[in-house]
Amino acid sequence: MNYEFFIAKRIIGSKAYKSSISAPIIKIGIAAIAVGMVVMMVAIATGIGLQQKIRDKVVAFNGHVNITYYDSNNSQESVFPISKNQEFYPEFKSVEGISHIQVVATKFGVIRTETDFEGAILKGVGADYNWSYFKDFLVEGKLPDYNGKRNEEVLISKYLANRLQFKLGDKFQMIFKKEDPNKLPNIITYTITGIYNSGFQDFDATYLIGDIRHLQRINKWKEDEIGGFEVFINDYSELQRKGIEIYQNTPSTLNTQTIADKYYSILEWIKIFDKNIYGIIGIMILVAGINMITALLVLILERTQMIGVLKALGSNNFSIRKLFIYNASYLIFLGLLWGNILGLGLLFAQKYFKLIELPVETYYVTEAPVFISLGYIVALNIGTLMLCLLMLLVPSYIITKISPVKAIRFE
């Protein structure tokens, strides 16, 4: 029989233990671990959730990697066309981990109404466009359908619709300037079939989604000429490596750019969340460990006579230290249990009821997104338990300094 575990169990279950002098300190230690666990879970869930949400919005408008004509043009408008008859389209077989590739083109235009006007970029897409991201952004109407004949259906942002007082089903004119300033501009009358809201105002204020065939006609491009390709990959963590592979497997006349390069400041900004998460985890584990050290020292002090008796009966220092580590482990488990219950309760409440809102101008999202995964929850529990137990090994060393004779006489 593991007699250390047996004695620890009896001590924990005794009424004297629950009403002892150390009881309030023990409760504080348990509460510290529970609160620390809640704070760590919330920090990880919201930090990772915010990173993924912002990253997904950037990907929705750009893909993971852009392939365009190789030139020095820094404009968001497609100036030089490229042929879509490439070896890597419609399937990028030469590079593994590519989930989708689609053709796009962009052109600046002015939306005109009877009382107002607004500059915007029409993003032309085709039948191969990946609408999965915009399904989540859609707030009214339906997504445009470009599988059949060329049409004037357009997807507009809620931001632009509010500024121009548009409603679902409204028609408006968009004016596109020709390269020759002496010629009249092209005017297309679009119909709003859907309104989206990504929460990313920089994009919402800029882009409308329309049929790429209109831009081909305006630019006098051939049917197989497009502005560029957007490539989607399966694993974002491999973005840089896949970006290099895609560059190596495209013609020298084409240029490739990952979203990490194109939107460097935004994606570098969200990386700061990782440092915040690590800092919070470190502080919370340190606070919980210090509280458990205090609780263990009080337990040792309160059980000094028992330590003396056990030593007199032949128990060695290692066995007695193990007894108190068992006792402390129970307290840590109790704190972790309550921490998990409260932490998961808060996270699921935020996920389904959107309790905490965020300023969209600063965080690009309307509410605090949460990422819940069994992996990091298990790792957090195991890591907290192991680190707290390691921190308890030092104060438990005091037991080796206790003399049996003096301990038995201790009042």
pLDDT per position as a tens digit, 85-97: 999 999 999 999 9
Residue 239: is its pLDDT beyond 90? yes
Crossing angle between the packed helical segments 264-302 and 317-353, to the nearest 10 degrees: 140
| Mean pLDDT of all residues in 132-141 | 93
For the record, the structure tokens of 157 come out as 């942002």
Please, which residues have CB within 8 angstroms of residue 267's CB and are 6 or more apart in sequence? 55, 58, 259, 260
Burial (CB count within 10 angstroms: exposed 0-12, middle 13-18, buried 19+), residue 323:
buried
Q: How confident is the model at residue 44, as a pLDDT?
A: 95
For the record, the structure tokens of 381 come out as 């529990």
Confidence grade of residue 410 (pLDDT, cut at 50, 70, 90): low
The beta strands (E) that lie in 126-170 are given as 138-141, 153-157
| Mean pLDDT of all residues in 388-398 | 86
Encode 200-226: b = buried (16+ Cβ within 10 Å), e = exposed.
beebbebbbbbbbbbbbebbebeeebb
Cis peptide leading into residue 90 (ω within 30°): yes
- pTM value? 0.85
| Mean pLDDT of all residues in 41-64 | 94
Rounded Cα gap, residues 365 and 46, in angstroms: 12
Positive or negative, the CA dihedral 247, 248, 249, 251 is: positive
Rounded Cα gap, residues 138 and 155, in angstroms: 9
Confidence grade of residue 16 (pLDDT, cut at 50, 70, 90): low
Please, which residues have CB within 8 angstroms of residue 345's CB and are 6 or more apart in sequence? none
Q: Which residue has the tokens 């047996």?
A: 6
Burial (CB count within 10 angstroms: exposed 0-12, middle 13-18, buried 19+), residue 399:
buried
| Mean pLDDT of all residues in 318-331 | 88
Crossing angle between the packed helical segments 264-302 and 304-312, to the nearest 10 degrees: 70
pLDDT per position as a tens digit, 270-308: 888 888 899 999 999 999 998 888 888 888 888 888 888
Residue 33: is its pLDDT beyond 70? yes
Confidence grade of residue 23 (pLDDT, cut at 50, 70, 90): confident
Residue 149: is its pLDDT beyond 60? yes
CA distances from 352 to 347, 368, 370 (A): 9, 11, 10
DSSP label of 367: B
Q: What are the residue ranges spanned by the domains of the chain?
A: 3-56+267-409, 71-251
In 3D space, the residue among 63, 128, 62 whose CA is nearest the CA of residue 89 turns out to be 128
| Mean pLDDT of all residues in 98-126 | 94
